[in-house]
């Protein structure tokens, strides 16, 4: 079953497109990695999916619906963890979690159980009454992660999650993703940590200058690049060389 469909999407910040005719989909229970150079268009792709930017052409469907057709259902079908944490300075960790629970209409017993387990998992039990100004970078990231995993949407959209997290935090995040995947949720994750992407993603989208250069499993990508033993790092470097070759041509 397809959860997310991105069909022929073109879009950007000005009239000049940043994304060119992107087409991909994510199935139920799939973890898909969005990989590409700085400026390739990963965050822009995510902004189109979460609806903060509108495509100039093409359409995006989440569980079969576009944002326009049913904004409330569309918004409640995904959880988003941004690259840079966005927190309310005047709210404590507890209040951030409560606000998320209210926004997603979480039942109070479900909220209590999930909150306690997330606090333990991310080692933040003792920080419940802290304000963001006292959090380290990684702790701020963890607040966003805990808010995202408090709810159970069809799709988690995670923009570069590993930067700033300590190794235990990274492991907890990967464990959470694995559990939610097993429960049927899908994940779209952009990252530059290629070894982790290679290990954990079911499929990879290689984005290059706002276009999809290749997509598929690691074996599919190896076949596309004619590099049967390549790691994702090798494939990525090959894609970079193509870019340099194009510039020289
Ligand atoms: N707010 C903005 N206004 C205008 N152009 C932007 C804006 N944000 C990004 N861009 C441009 O859009 C293109 C894609 O940027 P995007 O942030 O999507 O890349 P990315 O793949 O997420 O990169 P990174 O790995 O550095 O996070 C770049 O050329 C960038 O300069």
3-state secondary structure 174-213: HHHHHHHHHCCCEEEEECCCHHHHHHHCCEEEEEECCEEE
**Measured between alpha carbons, how far is 146 from 176 in angstroms, rounded to an integer?**
10
Q: Each residue's pLDDT tens digit in the chain (249 positions)?
A: 899 999 999 999 988 999 999 999 999 999 999 999 889 999 999 999 999 999 999 999 999 999 999 999 999 899 999 988 889 999 999 999 999 999 888 999 999 999 999 999 999 999 999 999 999 999 999 999 999 999 999 999 999 888 889 999 999 999 999 999 999 999 999 999 999 999 999 999 999 999 999 999 999 999 999 999 999 999 999 988 876 666 666
Residue 134, burial from CB neighbour count under 10 angstroms (0-12, 13-18, 19+): exposed
- Which of 39, 42, 82, 159 is the best mutation target for the ligand 1 pocket, counting ligand atoms within 8 Å of the beta carbon and taking the most? 39
What per-residue confidence (pLDDT) applies to 161?
84
Q: How far, in Å, is the centroid of ligand 1 from the Cα of 41?
A: 6
User: Whose CA is closest to atom 5 on ligand 1?
Assistant: 13
Q: List phi, psi (to 5°) of 205.
A: -110, 120
| Per-residue confidence (pLDDT) for residue 29, from 0 to 100 | 96
Which pLDDT score, from 0 to 100, does residue 4 have?
Answer: 97
Render pLDDT for 115-130 as a digit per residue (tens, 0 to 9): 999 999 999 999 999 9
Q: What is the pLDDT of residue 243?
A: 63
The closest-lying atom of ligand 1 relative to the alpha carbon of residue 160 is 27
Interval between CA 10 and ligand 1 midpoint (Å): 14
Predicted confidence at residue 246, as pLDDT, reads: 65
Pocket residue to mutate for ligand 1, from 16, 43, 197, most atoms within 8 A of Cβ: 43
Ligand 1 centroid, distance to 182 Cα (angstroms): 32
Q: What are 211's strand-pairing partners?
A: 208
Residue holding tokens 């966005």? 86
Specify which residues 11 forms β-bridges with.
19
Structure confidence by residue, pLDDT tens digits, 127-173: 999 999 999 999 999 999 999 999 999 999 999 888 889 999 999 99
* pLDDT number for residue 244: 66
* 2-84+154-248 classified as CATH 3.40.50.300: yes
Q: Given the DSSP bridges, would you call strands 186-190 and 19-27 parallel, antiparallel or unpaired? A: unpaired
Question: Residue ranges of the domains in the chain?
Answer: 2-84+154-248
- Ligand 1 centroid to 43 CA: how many Å? 7
Q: Is the CB of 82 under 6 A from ligand 1?
A: no
């Amino acid at each position: 079953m397809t959860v997310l469909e991105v069909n022929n999407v073109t879009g950007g910040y000005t009239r000049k497109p940043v994304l060119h005719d992107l087409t991909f989909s994510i199935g139920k229970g799939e973890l898909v990695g969005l990989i590409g150079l700085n400026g390739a268009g990963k965050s822009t792709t995510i902004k189109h999916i979460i609806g903060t930017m509108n495509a100039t052409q093409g359409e995006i469907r989440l569980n079969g619906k576009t944002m326009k057709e049913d904004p409330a259902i569309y918004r409640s079908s995904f959880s988003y963890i941004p690259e840079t944490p966005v927190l309310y300075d005047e709210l404590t960790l507890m209040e951030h979690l409560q606000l998320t629970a209210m926004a997603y209409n979480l039942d109070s017993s479900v909220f209590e159980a999930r909150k306690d387990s997330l606090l333990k998992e991310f080692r933040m039990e003792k920080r419940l009454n802290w304000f963001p100004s006292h959090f380290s970078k990684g702790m701020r990231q963890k607040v966003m992660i805990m808010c995202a995993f408090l709810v159970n949407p069809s799709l988690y959209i995670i923009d570069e999650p590993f930067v700033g997290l300590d190794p235990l935090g990274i492991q907890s995040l990967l464990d959470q993703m694995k559990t939610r995947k097993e429960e049927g949720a899908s994940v779209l994750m952009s990252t530059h940590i290629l070894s982790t992407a290679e290990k954990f993603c079911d499929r990879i989208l290689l984005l290059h200058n706002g276009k999809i250069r290749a997509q598929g499993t690691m074996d599919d990508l190896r076949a596309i690049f004619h590099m049967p033993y390549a790691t994702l790092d090798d494939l990525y470097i090959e894609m970079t060389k193509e870019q340099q070759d194009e510039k020289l041509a």
